[in-house]
Every structure is written in structure tokens, then in C-alpha cells.
Amino acid sequence: MDTAITEISKWQQFQDSWDLFRDPILCALIAGGVLGFLSVYVVLRRMVFVSAAVTHAAGLGVALAFFAQIHLGMHVDPMVGATALSVLATLLLMLDPARLKLTRESMLGLAFAFAGGAAVLVGDRIAQEAHDIQGILFGTAVLVTPENFYTVAGVGGAILVLQLWWYRGFTFVSFDRVGATVQGLPVRILDATLMMSIGVMVGVSARALGSLPVFAFSTLSAIAALVLDFRLRWTFLLATLFGCISGFGGYLFAFFYDYPVGGSQTVAASLLVAIAALIRGFLDLLDPTR
């Protein structure tokens, strides 16, 4: 009886405070959906650690923006810092490391470790913003400002339109590079545009929601969709839907049960992978020839 009263009270509180929660929830919904769509490229092109390195670079960009404002007197918008470092990390990871006698895995490990370690070091010198730094690295999503929301919505909408417009080119280059070259497609331009789309979306989303849930949206959404083994168009649709569910559902769970938002969104994305695996196992039992 007491539990029911508490749940009703929580729901009523949520409805009454919708104006307060609207921006963070819609921001998580949009970021989850767009990053979920892009996650199919991230996973199928085996760039999971690229996403991890870029999200850490976004956290470092925000920390550097705070550092510049506090110690150097330079006003740099943290959103600009996150996006700039994300794009820079993306461009560096696109270079061919063989000229430096390094493997691509070595470059990814170096970028991931350096960005994460540097964010901690810079954060140690801006103690008054320590809460913000922790929020960026692990995700809070309750600090989403209207400016952050409009930026994520605008950038996410533009990237999604571009992805749908050039869908055939992006998929052709991603999954049959030789065939795309033979057909005369601008492979390098399509590659660069796709990577820039991932870098920019990760940057603006990490500033608003935190690196941890952004990494989950940009990897686990596609993993859950791919486990179900549908055609490619359905995989993109399901990954987008799973990203939206992770962002929206994770926020609701955190609100009703008083958990951190970023961790709740990440666990929600992980649970979707487990549920998809169970569904796939059940379908295989019904039809072993599938």
C-alpha cells in the first residue's frame, strides 16, 4: 500500500515537474536515436574503440574549456571544446598509422588512454568545476541547459537528414569499399563525412549527457539490433529505436528509483542487448534452420 502511494506520488511529481525534466529527456531521446543510427557503422566497421576514444576526447575538451576560463581568462564554451576535441580525435584516428610504424589498435589505445588520463589531470586543477567534470565523464543528464538541448537537437537533426540522404553511399563505402571505388563513388569524401558526423555528434552529446551513456548509445544500440539478425534497413531502424529507449527509459528509471542518470542509461542499453540475445535464442529454438 505504501509502495503504491509512493509510486503515485513519484509519477505525479514527474508530471508536475515536466517543464524541468523536458529538456534532459528530449535531449537523451534525440542523442540516443541519432547515435543509435550511427552505431551500426561503428560496430560493423569495427570502430567500437574509436567511439570510446572520441568520447574521452570530448570529456578532455570540456575540461580544457573550464581550465582556459579559470586560469587563462579565456571564455571557451564547453560545448565548443567537446566538439573540437572530438573532431580532432576523429581526424587523427583517420590517419594511416603505418607510416609511424604503429598499428591502428596502438593508435586507438594511445588516444583512449591519453584523453582519459589528461581529462583527470586537467580536472584536478579546476576543483571548483569538479562536479561538472565528473558529470561529463560518467553522465548526469540533469544539467542539460536549453542551449545544450537546442544544440543537440539541431546537430542531431542535420546529421540524421544527411545520413538518410546519402544512405546508399555511406553503406556502399562501409561494406563494399572495393565495389564503391569501382563504381566511381567519392570514397574518401564519404568516409570523411561519416567520421565527422560521428565525431561531431559524440562531442555535442557528451557535453550534454556525459561520455559514459554516449559511448553506450554509440555501440550497444547496434549490438542489440545486430543480434536479432534482420536486414540492414531494419537493423538501422532498430538501433535508432534502441538508442531512444536507452536514453528515455534510463532517465525514467533514474528518476523513479533515485539512481544516477548516466549509469541508468548505460545499464538500460546493456539490458537491451541481453533481451535481444534471449529473443534470438528463442527464435533459433523455434526454427533451427534460421
Rounded Cα distance between 126 and 67, Å, is 6
Predicted confidence at residue 290, as pLDDT, reads 61
pLDDT tens per residue across span 178-224: 888 888 889 889 988 998 898 889 888 887 888 888 889 989 999 99
Predicted confidence at residue 1, as pLDDT, reads 47
- Classify residue 74 by its DSSP letter: -
Predicted confidence at residue 60, as pLDDT, reads 84
Rounded Cα distance between 127 and 132, Å, is 10
Question: Domains, the chain, ranges and CATH?
Answer: 17-285 (1.10.3470.10)
Predicted confidence at residue 137, as pLDDT, reads 59
pTM, full prediction: 0.83
Q: CA-CA distances (angstroms) from residue 148 to 79, 82, 88, 96, 282? A: 8, 12, 21, 34, 42
List of residues 6+ apart from 253 with CB closer than 8 A: 259, 264, 268
Predicted confidence at residue 217, as pLDDT, reads 92
Rounded Cα distance between 257 and 219, Å, is 26
Predicted confidence at residue 183, as pLDDT, reads 83
Predicted confidence at residue 131, as pLDDT, reads 62
Q: Supply 37's cell numbers.
A: 543510427
Predicted confidence at residue 110, as pLDDT, reads 83
Which residue ranges of the chain lie beneath pLDDT 70?
A: 1-9, 127-143, 288-290
Predicted confidence at residue 32, as pLDDT, reads 94
Rounded Cα distance between 288 and 290, Å, is 5
Cell 580532432 belongs to which residue?
Answer: 88
